[in-house]
């Protein structure tokens, strides 16, 4: 575990046009979390609605949802990397093995 963050979100600011229907029937809204080195009023992180690349390129203003603070860290937060699914990894190995066959 790298950190624990406590935060509050103003749900009234969630834009319904950003809601996404999940496969499980649930409704999701993607958010972005920014952690800062400096603090203001004891808070050093903020939450906003995630923007698309087009929205960022057009410099559209962010929809801020709330803020919070890091309350614990072990000092070793690292960048997250996507893990391959087990099935995809097996398929990739089979394809590589097929290419190495002498016939």
Q: What is the pTM of this model?
A: 0.68
Q: How far is residue 74's CA from residue 14's CA, in Å, rounded to a whole number? A: 32
Helix (H, G, I), strand (E, B) or coil at 15: coil
How many other CB atoms are there within 10 angstroms of residue 65's CB atom? 22
Q: What is the pLDDT along the chain (103 residues), one digit of tens a residue?
A: 688 899 999 999 999 999 999 999 899 999 999 998 888 788 999 999 999 999 999 999 999 999 999 899 888 877 777 777 655 444 444 444 444 444 3
Helix (H, G, I), strand (E, B) or coil at 79: coil
């Amino acid at each position: 575990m790298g950190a624990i963050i406590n935060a509050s979100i103003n749900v009234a600011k969630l834009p319904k046009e950003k809601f996404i229907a999940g496969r499980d029937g649930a409704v999701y809204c993607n958010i972005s979390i920014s952690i800062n080195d400096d603090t203001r009023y004891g808070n050093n992180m903020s939450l906003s609605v995630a923007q698309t690349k087009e929205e960022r390129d057009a410099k559209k203003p962010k929809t801020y949802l709330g803020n919070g603070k890091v309350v614990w860290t072990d000092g070793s937060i690292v960048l997250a990397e996507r893990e391959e699914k087990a099935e995809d990894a097996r398929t990739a190995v089979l394809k590589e093995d097929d290419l190495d066959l002498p016939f």
